[in-house]
Chains A and B, each alone.
Chain A
Amino acid sequence: MSFTLYDKLWNLHEVSRREDGTYLLYIDRHLIHEVTSPQAFEGLKLAGRKPWRISANIATPDHNVPTTDRDKGIAGINDEVSKLQVVTLDDNCKEHEILQFDIHDKRQGIVHVVGPEQGLTLPGMTIVCGDSHTSTHGALATLSMGIGTSEVEHVLATQCLKISKLKNMRVNISGELQENVTPKDVTLAVIGRIGTAGGTGYAIEYTGSVIENMSIEGRMTVCNMAIEAGARAGLVAYDQVTEAYIKDRPFTPTGDQWLVAKEQWQDLVSDSEAQFDKEIEIDGSVIAPQVTWGTSPEMVSDIDGVIPEPNSESIRHALSYMNLEPGKKIKDIKLDQIFIGSCTNSRIEDLREAAKVLEGKKVSESIKRAIVVPGSGLVSQQAIDEGLDKIFIDSGFEWRAPGCSMCLAMNPDQLGDGEHCASTSNRNFEGRQGYGGRTHLVSPITAAASAVEGHFVDVREYLS
């Protein structure tokens, strides 16, 4: 029998088949944040149930935390409703003795940055979180999926997810990327190709030379947006790059356990004969830097493209919301704000690359605000140690404390009505970054270069 990576991860965790034909899949790691967990803890309490295995759970507040005044801790959250949510997470973690990297902890950050960084995300694991971008962790050969709050409660109570099997899709990206074309451009190009519903019902395994030559952080960027392609899970096979990344992280096994684990992890690859239900081939060498122009991630264009004709109700509506005319060049879109951050692009490599572009340059006068929000306290510290914060600040960026920030603007970091933003986040939905805000998803270097020019630029020419 030949198996895909997804099949293998599934087989390692299948507990039993319920009478309804769905399966109970054992969950190794459950990540928790403040927005999608309170109702689950309450449900548990109302039913008189207890968490099944405390050590599986790790929590951190990320969505609501402010990116300024962090020395004040919870008192620094001005919005009472947000504060209550963060306090509720604290209370629930204390009550159940769940390990939390709280608002004061150096390790606090966006849950999908924190997991891999701490070695809480280990190859071969099943990982869930009440957050759709849990797909990120698949970059480390894990089966990782976003779940709803009822499912959070179910996982807390049973240590299992009730689920049907997904189908297997392989997206093979061959060849070599052009210089300054990044993992973000790859993942946006895939979405542009298959659409935001293209992966519905599938787990997508990303393969090919482009992925093999990518760092783990880059693979995380790609898997992060598997959900924007409709897939609940994104996956990349285990290899030497994975091993090197995992080694010596705080929760990574050591000694004999490390040796046994490494041995087991070798098998976390799709067998050469494995069958996929759907296969997509993409030539990596023709991928250009990508920019979204609409209100769905599939509304994406090459940097040298133009705004399309509105040939559907969805596009008509999107162009009116974005205030863009068909035929307008992407490069001519003027920008008001720049956001570098989010679980897609807030890791140290993202910050290094953006800083390299900004070194010795200034953000254009026409940009009202440019902010950079590291993904975690440790990313922030590392960047400060490398002097990156200085480069950002000297160029005119605001250097902020870690969290989701303007990715979904639940905290005070928001776009103004009608403002165009070059954002390294993952969703350009209406109002996502603030009421009436107009989001364009791009890579960190495109965001940085465009900040300097005040409009989108082709980083292939700009940085050559």
Chain B
Amino acid sequence: MKNTSTYHKGLAVPLNRDNIDTDQIIPKQFLKSIKKSGFGPNLFDAWRYEDEGFPGQDISNRKINKEFILNQEKFTNSDILISKKNFGCGSSREHAVWSLMDFGFKVVIAESFADIFYNNCFNNGLLPIVISEHEILTLLDLSEERKEIEIDLHNQIIFVEENEIAHFEIDPFRKKCILEGLDEIGLSLTHSSEIKEFERKHYLKSPWIFNKESN
């Protein structure tokens, strides 16, 4: 029997593909926004709709691509996304994370993530979890069966119906940030005096780095 603290429990949608890039997660035309919110309706836009999307349009008139997994009735109300290798590759756009969260996703589970995307997740409180290929396959099947997936972040375990499916690794501090929502900049600024001291020496050594105007 398990003895857990649940971080999140929910239904998952299986996106059974490698190399899902951030251009797919949120196509470029939506990057024109200067806000962090409102990207949810255009998440996976080119796959979700049959027509081409553009910013500010009324989505209620758009033709839905019924084939795409996010549109299948079976998978509505999912807030966990499961995918395969190298999820979030390509462009550094943080809009990808904002759109996944705006849509309602709380957790993304994959075999591996691209580096920048992985960082962007933590900077916004979207939990990325890495597990093995064979554990992913198990979860893909269980999500097809609409089993609820439970994430115990404290013990770093994924459960389905009280059975342990996978154990995952996560950096302890990042875990803390996700749980407590720490202010990264504030924390770094507690090192201000070290940064200033570094800067002073750096300047003495390589002053050209600090040159202001064009020569």
Residues of A within 8 A of B35 (CB): 39
Q: How far is the CA of A343 from the CA of B176 in the complex (A)?
A: 38
User: A2 an interface residue at 8 Å Cβ cutoff?
Assistant: no
Could you tell me the distance in whole angstroms from the C-beta of A265 to the nearest C-beta in chain B?
Answer: 10
Contact of B194 among A15, A28, A260 (CB under 8 A): A15
Among the 9-residue stretches A173-181, A285-293, A370-378, A429-437, the one with 4 or more Cβ atoms under 8 Å from chain B is: A429-437
**With contact pairs A15-B191, A125-B209, A132-B92 given, residues A88 and B34 touching in the complex (Cβ less than 8 Å):** yes
Residues of B within 8 A of A201 (CB): 115
Could you tell me the distance in whole angstroms from the C-beta of A44 to the nearest C-beta in chain B?
Answer: 9
Residues of A within 8 A of B61 (CB): none
User: A354 an interface residue at 8 Å Cβ cutoff?
Assistant: no
Q: Are A430 and B17 in contact (CB under 8 A)?
A: no
**With contact pairs A19-B173, A232-B115 given, residues A250 and B28 touching in the complex (Cβ less than 8 Å):** no
Residues of A within 8 A of B206 (CB): 124, 260-261, 264
Residues of A within 8 A of B94 (CB): 36, 39, 148-150
Tell me the chain B residues, 9-29 only, with Cβ under 8 Å from chain A: 16-19, 21, 23-24, 27-29
Residues of B within 8 A of A22 (CB): 173
Q: Are A131 and B92 in contact (CB under 8 A)?
A: yes
**With contact pairs A158-B195, A410-B32, A429-B21 given, residues A200 and B114 touching in the complex (Cβ less than 8 Å):** yes
Q: Are B92 and A230 in contact (CB under 8 A)?
A: no
Among the 9-residue stretches A235-243, A251-259, A330-338, A345-353, the one with 4 or more Cβ atoms under 8 Å from chain B is: A251-259
Q: How far is the CA of A282 from the CA of B114 in the complex (A)?
A: 24
Could you tell me the distance in whole angstroms from the C-beta of B114 to the nearest C-beta in chain A?
Answer: 6
Residues of B within 8 A of A250 (CB): 214-215
User: B93 an interface residue at 8 Å Cβ cutoff?
Assistant: yes
Interface size on A, residues (CB 8 A): 84
User: B178 an interface residue at 8 Å Cβ cutoff?
Assistant: no
Residues of A within 8 A of B198 (CB): 15-16, 26
Q: Are B191 and A20 in contact (CB under 8 A)?
A: no
Residues of B within 8 A of A53 (CB): 199, 210
Q: Are B210 and A18 in contact (CB under 8 A)?
A: no
Q: Are A230 and B114 in contact (CB under 8 A)?
A: yes
Q: How far is the CA of A151 from the CA of B124 in the complex (A)?
A: 11
Q: How far is the CA of A254 from the CA of B46 in the complex (A)?
A: 51
Residues of B within 8 A of A147 (CB): 92, 116, 119
Residues of A within 8 A of B36 (CB): 39
**With contact pairs A20-B172, A24-B195 given, residues A158 and B185 touching in the complex (Cβ less than 8 Å):** yes
Which residue among B32, B172, B176 has the maximum number of chain A CB atoms within 10 Å of its CB?
B32
User: A427 an interface residue at 8 Å Cβ cutoff?
Assistant: yes
The interface bits of chain B over 186-213 (1 if a CB of A lies within 8 angstroms of the residue's CB, else 0) are: 0111011011001100100111111110
User: A35 an interface residue at 8 Å Cβ cutoff?
Assistant: yes
Q: Are B211 and A151 in contact (CB under 8 A)?
A: no
User: A384 an interface residue at 8 Å Cβ cutoff?
Assistant: no
Residues of B within 8 A of A49 (CB): 185
The interface bits of chain A over 9-26 (1 if a CB of B lies within 8 angstroms of the residue's CB, else 0) are: 000010110111110101
Residues of B within 8 A of A47 (CB): 185
Residues of A within 8 A of B31 (CB): 35, 63, 410
Q: Are A146 and B188 in contact (CB under 8 A)?
A: no
Could you tell me the distance in whole angstroms from the C-beta of B166 to the nearest C-beta in chain A?
Answer: 20
**With contact pairs A148-B120, A162-B184 given, residues A410 and B28 touching in the complex (Cβ less than 8 Å):** yes
Q: How far is the CA of A18 from the CA of B173 in the complex (A)?
A: 10
Nearest 9 CB-CB pairings of A with B: A20-B173, A253-B208, A150-B123, A38-B34, A148-B120, A197-B86, A435-B52, A148-B94, A81-B32
Residues of chain A touching chain B, judged by Cβ–Cβ distance below 8 Å, are 13, 15-16, 18-22, 24, 26, 28-29, 35-36, 38-39, 42, 47, 49, 52-53, 55, 63-64, 79, 81-82, 84-85, 88, 118, 122, 124-125, 130-132, 146-151, 153-154, 157-160, 162, 164, 196-197, 200-201, 228, 230, 232, 250-254, 257, 260-261, 264, 296, 298, 312-314, 317, 408-410, 417, 427, 429-432, 435-436
- The contact sample of 20 A-B pairs, CB cut-off 8 A, is A13-B202, A16-B194, A18-B173, A18-B188, A38-B34, A39-B36, A53-B199, A64-B32, A81-B33, A81-B56, A124-B206, A132-B91, A148-B92, A148-B97, A148-B120, A158-B185, A232-B115, A257-B207, A417-B52, A429-B21
